[in-house]
Each structure stands twice: as C-alpha cells, then as structure tokens.
Amino acid sequence: MTDTVISILFSGAAFATVLYLISVGLSITMGLLGIANLAHGAFAMAGGYIAFALVNRLGVNFFAALLVAAVAVAAISVVLERLIYRPVYDAGELEQVLLSMGLIFASIAIAHFAFGPLPLAVNVPASLQGQVDIGWRSFPAYRLFLIAFGLCVFVTLWFAIERTALGARIRAAVDNRAMAEGVGINTRVLFTVVFALGSALAAVGGALGSEVVALTPFYPLEYLVYFLIVVSIGGLGSVSGPALAALLLGFGDSACKILIPEFGAFFIYVAIFLVLLVRPNGLFGRAQS
Amino acid sequence: MLDDRIIEETGCLDCVNVCAGWGETQVLSDVSFSLPQGEMLAVLGRNGVGKSTLLSTIVGRATLRSGELRWDGSSIAQLSKFQRARVGIGLVPQEREIFRSLSVEENLTVAAQVRNGADSWTLDRVYALFPRLKERRTNQGNQLSGGEQQMLSIGRALMGNPSLLLLDEPMEGLAPVIVEQLITALHQIRTETKMAIVLVEQHVAIALEFATRLIVLDRGAVVYDNSDGAGVPDRGRIEQLVGVEAI
C-alpha cells in the first residue's frame, strides 16, 4: 500500500514537473496579453527534438544541448511572435485559435518529416542513469534530478516575479495593461521578453521531459489539453498557481493510471469539469474581478 | 526616440478642435483649450458629458478622430500610451486602477521615472505627503480603503515626475475627512512642484478652490470657457450649467 502511494507520488511529481516547465510560460503570456497561444506545446516539442538531434545523433553533451535547445526555441518564438502573432493581437479569439491550431498542424508535419512517427527520447547522461538508494527505497536518478530541477525553476521564477522590479512590471501589466502603459511601461517589449523566456522554459521541459513524456509528432496536440488544464486550474499570470495545478494533475493522472487504468483519464476530466464549474477563474489565479 | 530635452522641460498642453471617442462612438466634438506650464485647469460638467473621455484622449486610451494634441509644441497624437507617460503625462484615473497584486510600495516604484530637477518626486517624498501610505507600504493593492487607494493613485502618478498631472474626480465617493486631506495634499503639490494640472470635477466649489482657469463641458462640447484664466469665473453661470450644487 505504502509502496503504491509512493509510486503514485513519485511518478506524479515527475510528470508534474514536465507539465509545469511547459505550462508556466503559457500562463504568464496569456495573463499578460490575453493571447490564446495553443501552439505553445510545439515549442516544447521543438526543444525536445533539437536536444534529441544534438545528443542522440551528434553526441553533444546533454546539458549543452539543453541550453542550445532553449536558446534556439526562444529565438524561433520571438521571430514567430513578431511575424505571425502580432497581427492577431487585436483580432478576436477565433482568429487566435485558428492561427495557433494552424501552427500546431504545421509543427506536426515538420516533426513527422524530420523525425518520423515513432516515439523518441533524449538519451539520459551516464551520470544520471541508474537508481539512487535513499536508505529504505531506491528511485530512478534521472527522475529525482528532474523533480529537483523543477523545484529550482519554481523557486527562481517565484523570486523573479514576486521580488524583482521586472517581476513587478510583469504583475502590473497582468493586473491592468492600460494603467501599466500609463505609468510608462512598454508592455509590448515586456511581452516579447516573457514570451521568449516562456518558450525557452517549454523547450527545456520538452527536452528534459522526453524520458517521461516521449516525443512524437503529435505531442503539441496530444498534451494540449494537459497544458490548458494546468493554465486554467492554476490561473492566468501566476507562477505558483500552475505549480500547484501541475502537481494536482500529475498526482491525479498517475493515481488513475496506477489504480484504475481501465478508466484512463476519465476521473481527471470529471474533477476538472467540477472545479471549473465552481471556480471558473481557476483555483489559484490572480483572478480578474 | 524621444529627445531628452523634451523630458526635462516643463511642457504645456494644446488641444485644438479635438474630436474623440471610443470605437465608432464620438464623444467629444471640437474641444479646444491651451494650458501653459505650471498652470491648473478645472474641467466641469455633469456625468457622462465627456470629461473622462477628454483625459483618456490626452493619455491615448480613447481614440482621437480629428484635431490636434500638442505637448510642448510637438504633436503627441501618434505616441503610444507608454510614450506619453514617458514625456511626462501622469494620470490619476477615476477608478484609481491600483495594481492589485502589487504592494503599496511596488505600486509606487513600478511607476518611478527619474527626471532632473530639484523638485523631483521620490518614494520618501510621496510618503511624506501621504504618511498613511508609508504605514501600509507592505499591504497589497487590493487591501486598501478607497481613500488610501486614491492617495496611492496620486502618489503613483507623482512618482513618474510628470509635468502634466491629470486628475479624474479625485474626491469622488470619499468621506469628508479624506476629502479634506486630499485637498490639503493637492495644495501642497501645487506649491512644491511646478507642474500643469488638469482637474476633472463635478463639484464647483472644489474646482474654484484650485483653479481660475476652467471649462464646462456639455454633451462633448465646451459650453463655458475661461481656459485663459483672464476673467473671474462666473460661479452662478457655471453652477447653472453643471446643475449640481457643490458639497
């Protein structure tokens, strides 16, 4: 019994870390400009495939590949933001949804062409292979590293958003964009910076997480629901909301898969349905009244 | 990029035949006035005659459909909202619009713009003006009373060291004791800093306490104009036009 609970918590936390790394940028950019960028998962997939190509095919160091993937995806995202997203900022939600769905399908086609349909994972470095024995039980070293990494990212982001001048500007723009501009904040530049950072984090999530969530061309579509659940339960424009939401979703998902695999994710969706009925702004968000 | 020179100087505002509104709806028609540097203009009128729209047009929230807006001789009509804030236009909006997830102190520091000059506003000076804000500096923006929010909104605008301060009914809905404090603070701001101020008011008595330059708006047009401040304001006529008696 205890063993099952620990398994659920451990694999849930690993899945939650991947979901958090990918979704937190989406939460903040959606909170900032109200843009529904459904193609955010494509940035995660791109990061994963870039790291895969570098590590598995070219033999580049794992951590160097992570860095390259993050920087490359951030650069790609800024170009897309300037060229493709900017024209639809002032358009309606339908245009934004159509555009980002189109980007998802384009990314699926490119991924399929370049890497084929089979699930792939970035090779884990030798130093993180095997099990770590912590006395009464052993855990996979890589997943421990993944969870610790997620914690570090959470603490860093929390500090950056809640305790720095840049973070205060981001929160001000999420609260009231017109007033933020009215005190001299250039919200467009702020948005580009956050968009780039959010995409870089997604790329790291996709690359680090490929051991938990395998890379396939349909990645951006298959996990879109999970990213959106984290954002909608966690609330827009928040750092800690998506973290708690990702943990809830990770634990729930792995509990369902381990205890009642025949129902799949059925109970997860029911729970989210109920939560959003009662709290349409999510559980932890900076809800706009 | 904007010239540093413009930011350092104290400017003056020219509205020339301003027609403006929201989306397809036109609210203001042919509003003209000129406000020299360091002077104060009161804008009076009933609810919904376009007083707030006038301020919104100056800061770039509402759409200028025709006419000209000049700041220090150069047009600001094409500048975006944040650029207008950076040339020195500060707004205290009617709804106060405090950043709710920022602390009181962050609300002030996030708006700080440094300008040269002996009379520039700093965190300490804003706290000296409103000691209440210093007591509540770690509180979140959404934990403040109406009066504290108004003090914070004014303090936040001052932190930008504006040369033009736009105040939209700052006394509205506040207890008389708070109104007294705010009037004292406004007098203090007037004597300590040389900035142009546009005060939107519904109460004739408050407007006359501060300004001899005033205009009255009705249905988006200027119906009484003493914006050059030359004559003594005709209180009886103004009260008749505004239609509500002062406090």
The model's pLDDT over B116-138, given as tens digits with 9 standing for 90+, comes to: 666 789 999 999 999 999 999 99
Residue B147: C-alpha distances to residues A191, B68, B130, B176, B232 (Å): 33, 35, 11, 10, 32
Of A29, A145, A156, A132, which Cα lies nearest the Cα of A85? A29
B149 within 8 A of B108, measured Cβ to Cβ:
no
Using a CB-CB cut-off of 8 Å, the residues of chain A touching B85 are: 181-184
Beta strands in chain A (DSSP E): 131-133, 138-140
Under DSSP, the state recorded for B213 is E
Report d(CA B216, CA B230) in Å as an integer.
16
The model's pLDDT over A206-224, given as tens digits with 9 standing for 90+, comes to: 999 999 999 999 999 999 9
Residues in a beta bridge with B43: B200, B215
Residue in B60, B61, B85 nearest the CB of A183: B85
Using a CB-CB cut-off of 8 Å, the residues of chain B touching A179 are: 93, 97, 99
Tokens of A100: 């980002």
The model's pLDDT over A104-160, given as tens digits with 9 standing for 90+, comes to: 999 999 999 999 999 999 999 999 999 988 777 888 999 999 999 999 999 999 999
- The domain A2-278 is classified under which CATH number: 2.60.40, 1.20.1410, 1.10.3470, 1.10.287? 1.10.3470
From the candidates A183, A190, A191, A281, which should be mutated to test the interface with B, based on the most B CB atoms within 10 A? A183
CB atoms B100 and A175 under 8 Å: yes
Average pLDDT score over residue span B33-42: 92
- pLDDT given for residue B193 in this prediction: 87
| Separation in Å, CA of B93 to nearest CA in chain A | 9
For residues B170 and B2, the model is more confident at B170
The bridge status of strand B213-218 relative to strand B221-226 is antiparallel
Say yes or no: A181 contacts chain B, CB-CB below 8 A.
yes
Tokens of A85: 């997203």
Using a CB-CB cut-off of 8 Å, the residues of chain B touching A182 are: 59, 61, 81-82, 85, 91, 93, 97
Domain positions in chain B are: 11-242
Report d(CA A36, CA B175) in Å as an integer.
43
- pLDDT given for residue A269 in this prediction: 85
Beta strands in chain B (DSSP E): 13-22, 25-35, 40-44, 63-71, 74-75, 89-92, 164-168, 196-201, 213-218, 221-226
Say yes or no: A168 contacts chain B, CB-CB below 8 A.
yes
User: Domain spanning B11-242 has what CATH number?
Assistant: 3.40.50.300
- Band of pLDDT at residue A65, cut at 50, 70 and 90: very high
Is a pLDDT exceeding 50 seen at residue B4? Answer: no
- pLDDT given for residue A288 in this prediction: 47
Average pLDDT score over residue span B65-72: 93
Q: Name residues 18-57 of chain A within 8 A of B (Cβ).
A: none
Average pLDDT, chain A: 91
- pLDDT given for residue A270 in this prediction: 87
Identify the closest residue of chain A to B103 by CA–CA distance.
A168
Is a pLDDT exceeding 50 seen at residue B1? Answer: no
DSSP, collapsed to helix, strand or coil, labels residue B17 as strand
CB atoms A171 and B80 under 8 Å: no
Q: Which amino acid is at B38?
A: G
Average pLDDT, chain B: 90
* ipTM for this model: 0.90
